[in-house]
Amino acid sequence: MKELIKELTEAFGPSGNEDAVREIIKKHVAEHVDEVRVDPLGNLITLKKGKPKSGVQSRKIMLAAHMDEIGVIISYVDDKGFLRFTRVGGVFPLTLLGSRVVFADGSTGVIGREKPEKRDEFPRMDKMYIDVGAVDKEHLNRKVGDVAAFVRPFVDLGQRLTAKAFDDRIGCAILLQTALELKTTPHDVYFVFTVQEEVGLRGALTSAFGVEPDVAIAVDVTLTGDTPEAHPMAVSLGAGPAIKVKDRGMLAHSGVKNWMANTAERLGVPYQFEVLEGGTTDAMAIQTSRAGVAAGVLSIPCRYVHSPSEMVDYDDVQNAVKLLVGLLSGPVDLG
């Protein structure tokens, strides 16, 4: 999967600008599903049709992973050609200073800041700017509203991987690999690659209305508690994918949670339970769409979330695929 992960993470795709990511996914997924369509908001919705199995109730299952990443957007251009900007999604000022950003056309800029009043002053976004090397405003090819993503190459550290946009290109890679490895299923399985998660779960909401699933699982990243003096959290890299119990936006459906845990134990797949104090996923929007959907989340432990250099464990990724294939190959047991 590593070449696929590299291709996905290095693609340009801030919220609302997911086109390049969507084309990569379409290229890889088309021959492994029965239907492919793009809805008006830009969600990529694919379907692998189920084959009825004696004694197994067929369900409509939605798997969701979001294509978008955090980024920045130009809000003002001064006379010297320096670009003021604001965030697209959850961007932290501490991660910005000295970072490079790239625009959709491939041009690059460097983030600088005004001289601080105090040497140890906390960096503020309204005191920062993007320098694209412009001589003056007249020779600048950037304008208000242009969006940029962070620049970081994918790096294979062996057991661990680091890149930008693991949130949530790693979820997209897992869905793609699951579609490839899932040879047969009694269920109609929708692999949905959503847009604009980072700015309000918008793609998940509209796609859930379009698919109308019986059961849904979002695949996304979660925080860890395994770094020096980290905030206490019972999630670690390498201990298996995490089955969500709760986050700031949702309580996972207990039947979906138990179905995932019981299947993991049957398959011998290591797993963890996750309680996330801040943040939420596409599952929140899916769970509360229409009259309600039985929804859960399979999370990939990830260090340094919403920074330009996130980190995951390759075994966790592969075990997530193994668990999803196991879940989709048999009956849905919500207890």
**Catalytic residue positions, numbered:** 197
CA distance 114 to 308: 22
Using alpha carbons only, how large is the chain's radius of gyration in Å? 20
Peptide bond into 316 cis (omega under 30): no
List, in sequence order, every residue forming a beta bridge with 74; answer none if it has no partner: 85
Report the run of H or E that residue 297 belongs to, with start and end. strand 294-301
Nearest partner of 310 among 92, 124, 18, judged by Cα: 92
Nearest to 270, CA basis, from 311, 239, 230: 239
CA separation for the pair 86, 71 (Å, rounded): 9
Q: Do 52 and 185 contact (CB within 8 A), yes or no?
A: no
Q: H or E stretch including 133?
A: none
Nearest 10 degrees: Cα torsion 324, 325, 326, 331: 90
The answer to whether 312 touches 170, Cβ cutoff 8 Å, is: yes
> What is the amino acid identity at position 302?
C
Contacts of 131 (CB under 8 A, 6+ apart): 82, 83, 109, 110, 111, 112
Q: How far is CA 113 from the centre of its chain?
A: 29
Spatial distance between the Cα atoms of 63 and 283, rounded to a whole number of angstroms:
10
